[in-house]
Amino acid sequence: MLRFSLCCAVTITAGVLTGNALPQADLRAEEQGKPVARQAEHRPAQLLSFDDLEKRLKEPNLRLLDCRPRADYEKGHLPGAVWVDTKSLESQAGRPGGLDDRKFWEDWAATLGIDSKSAVFVYDARRQLDAARVWFFLRWIGVENVGLINGGYALWTRQNRAVTTVVPKVESRPFKVEFRKDVAATRDEVLAAVKADAANVLDARSDAEFAGTDRKSKRGGHIPTACHLEWTNLVDEDGKFLDHDALQTKVEKSGIKLGSDVICHCQGGGRASVNAFALELLGLHTRNYYLGWSDWGNAETTPVVEGGASGKK
C-alpha cells in the first residue's frame, strides 16, 4: 500500500488497475463470451499549438473536430475540420445509461471516419468547454490518439490563419467501442473513494455552487473532502491553457498534489473535462465523474457539505 500526502490523505490501494489488466469479474465475463470494458494504456494529454497544427494540416491521418454551432461552422472552419453536434452528445451522455450505450457511440464514431491510425484534435469557441467534453467522450469510447488545440477559433482567425467553408467528404468507417472505465467514475465509485480516502475529488464548479448558495440540484454544497478549482482558472479567454508552471501552481494551491489520482466533477461533465485535461497535462491520472452534481446533488443518501471550505489540506 502506497500513501501520498494529499488534500485528503489519499491512500492508493492495490486494487487500482493499470495497462490492460482485467479484474476477476471481467475475466469471468470474458470466459463466458460476454463483452467487457478494457483499459487502454494511459497516454499523456496532447495539446497542439496553432503553429504545430499548421505544419500538420495536410497529414492524411489528421482528423480535426469543430465543436461550435453548425451555423458558425458553415460560415468558416479550419481546413479539413468535421462538424460535431456537441449538444446531441451532451444530451445522450446526460441520460441514465447514456454513456454506456454502445450502439450510439459506435454509430457516432463511425461518422468521423477515424481508425487506429487517426490523430484526432478538437477545438471550439468556448474556452475549451465543448472541446474538452468531446475529448472526454473520445477517450471514453477508446480513441487513444486524441487531444485539444491550444486556442479557440476566434484567436485562430485573429491571427489570420487559414479557414475554409469547404465541408470535407468523410467516408463512414466502422469503429469498435472499447469503453475505458479508467477515465470515468460512477457515483458509487466516488462514494467508495471518499469513504476510503482512496482518491482526490476536484470540483470544477463556481465558488457559489461549491458553497451551496447557487443550487442547481435538489441539494447544494459539495462532496466531503473535495478540493475546489473552478475551470475558468485553468484556461484564458482565448481558449489557451495556462503554461505548465502556472497550471501546477493553481492545482497545488487547490490542495491537489502532483502524483495523485484525481476524480474531477462539475454539474454535468463539461467543466470537469477541462479540469481533467489540465491535470493530465501535469501528468496526473484523472477520472471524470461525468454526471457530477446533477447526480450527486439529486440523490437522497449521498453526503453533502454546505459552505465554502475546501477539502482537508
List the domains of the chain with CATH numbers: 47-180 (3.40.250.10), 184-296 (3.40.250.10)
The confidence score (pLDDT) of residue 21 equals: 34
The confidence score (pLDDT) of residue 123 equals: 99
pLDDT level of residue 77 (50, 70, 90 thresholds) = very high
Query: What stretch of H or E contains 227?
Result: strand 227-228
d(CA 186, CA 37): 14
Q: Is the pLDDT of residue 7 over 70?
A: no
Q: Is the pLDDT of residue 3 over 50?
A: no
pLDDT single digits (tens) 163-175: 999 999 999 999 9
Which of 61-70, 100-109, 131-140, 198-207 bottoms out in mean pLDDT, i.e. has the lowest? 198-207
Q: Is the pLDDT of residue 280 over 90?
A: yes
Q: Is the pLDDT of residue 42 over 80?
A: no
Q: Is the pLDDT of residue 20 over 70?
A: no
pLDDT level of residue 313 (50, 70, 90 thresholds) = very low
pTM: 0.86
pLDDT level of residue 196 (50, 70, 90 thresholds) = confident
What 8-state DSSP symbol labels residue 169?
P
Instruction: For the chain, give the mean pLDDT.
Output: 88
Q: How far is CA 196 from CA 60, 223, 254, 263, in A?
A: 47, 14, 21, 14
84 near 65, Cβ under 8 Å? yes
Burial classification of residue 216, based on how many CB atoms lie within 10 Å of its CB (0-12 exposed, 13-18 middle, 19 or more buried): middle
d(CA 49, CA 123): 11
The confidence score (pLDDT) of residue 188 equals: 96
Residues 6+ apart with CB under 8 A from 91: none
Q: Mean pLDDT, to the nearest integer, of 218-242?
A: 97
Which of 51-65, 143-157, 191-205, 212-226 bottoms out in mean pLDDT, i.e. has the lowest? 191-205
The confidence score (pLDDT) of residue 199 equals: 81
Residues 255, 258, 263, 265: what is their CA dihedral angle, to the nearest 10 degrees?
60
Residue-wise over 265-298: b if at least 16 C-beta within 10 A, else e? bbbbbbbbbbbbbbbbbbebbbbbbbbbbbbbbe
The confidence score (pLDDT) of residue 239 equals: 98
Alpha helices per DSSP H over the chain: 24-31, 50-56, 70-75, 86-94, 102-112, 129-140, 153-158, 187-196, 207-211, 244-254, 270-281, 292-296
